[in-house]
A = this chain, B = another copy of it.
Amino acid sequence: MIPADLHQRVGQWMSGVGPDSDVVISSRVRLARNAAGCRFMARAGADERRDLAARFAAALAAVEPPLDYLDLESLSPVDRHVLAERHLISREHADAEGPRGVALSADESVSVMVNEEDHLRMQVLRGGLDLGAAWERAAALDDAVQGRVPYAFDETYGYLTACPTNVGTGLRVSVMLHLPALAMTRELQRVFNAAAKIDFVVRGLYGEGTQGHGDFFQVSNQKSLGRSEREIINNLEVVIPKIVGYERKVRQDICAEHRRQVEDRIFRALGLLRSARLMTSEEALHLLSQLRLGALIGLVSDVDTPTLHRLFILSRPAHLQRLHGRELDEPERDAARADFLRRALGGA
């Protein structure tokens, strides 16, 4: 069972606070690991998977601070999607079959998927730009687990993983950026081109394509091989502040030069959120994104970013279904979403 009130709160990392959180939503460190002497997931049979899940569940329950292990096979599809919407498991992991699970810290800053693409996918999330702290927590967890379940490791290649792109450090480092001003002025492509040149890849909120929903973009490293963990993190710590500075500058510029247009967009977003009776996920994300910009540049005073961060997550389909205590079809969800957001934002 996932906690009964999970659909009413968000994890600490999504609380809207943290370094540079005007532009950086969150920082994420992910390590891919596999148990030594076991077949990778594509080849592992049901018994082997069950055995792996049990070994890792035991190991993860024993680390300090302890993690809660959830057996995904025993959760409803809605609850599994709640976890995916909270960025605690991948959508693939939610929809997969067979013995698999996730271990979570109470504040949701740590989540460890068991039997996803690799036997182990350890993730640490932090609010704002805070890769160093995320890395330290991930490294400590990595050491603690490795003491209990030895990893597949090669002296030449490093950590062995199911997909060659993860071999080596097994590390993926990413930050989630909110770039509404750059999106408004169509300057995003320059950011993406600059990121691509130094081997970073830019994707949307849930990893889909490069078209960010609601102006949210993930920037992550492309290569995990041939560089040390510290190097990978350092590279991102050099690049991200430049993007942050660029977004901040454009926010100032548009407020100075196109104030009416910016106000129009933001107050229209607020007006729609406070009045619509049907709203898709995509539209909600887009409008909340505009409102987040409005709150940060001081145009909208009665909504703060922690509230908006909560609404980003709680208005997603599975969260709404949990709020209503039953499965909802798409028109029902669109109605439930509009009602939820309207009330949360003081609409009529």
- A interface with B by C-beta (< 8 Å): 260-261, 263-264, 267-268, 270-272, 274-278, 331, 335, 338, 347-348
Contact = CB atoms under 8 A, between A and B. Distances in A.
Given A260-B335, A335-B260, A276 B272 contact: no
Contacts of A268: 272, 275-277
Contacts of A267: 275-277, 348
Contact of A277 (B264, B274, B331): B264
Contact of A270 (B263, B270, B275, B335): B275
Contacts of A270: 275
Nearest to A274: B271
A272 B274 CA distance: 10
Given A268-B277, A271-B271, A271-B272, 13 more contacts: A260-B278, A260-B331, A260-B335, A263-B277, A264-B278, A264-B338, A267-B275, A267-B277, A268-B276, A270-B275, A271-B274, A271-B275, A272-B272
Closest A-B pairs by Cβ, 3 of them: A271-B275, A264-B277, A271-B271
28 contacts: A260-B277, A260-B278, A260-B331, A260-B335, A261-B278, A263-B277, A264-B276, A264-B277, A264-B278, A264-B338, A267-B275, A267-B276, A267-B277, A267-B348, A268-B272, A268-B275, A268-B276, A268-B277, A270-B275, A271-B271, A271-B272, A271-B274, A271-B275, A271-B276, A271-B347, A272-B272, A272-B275, A274-B275
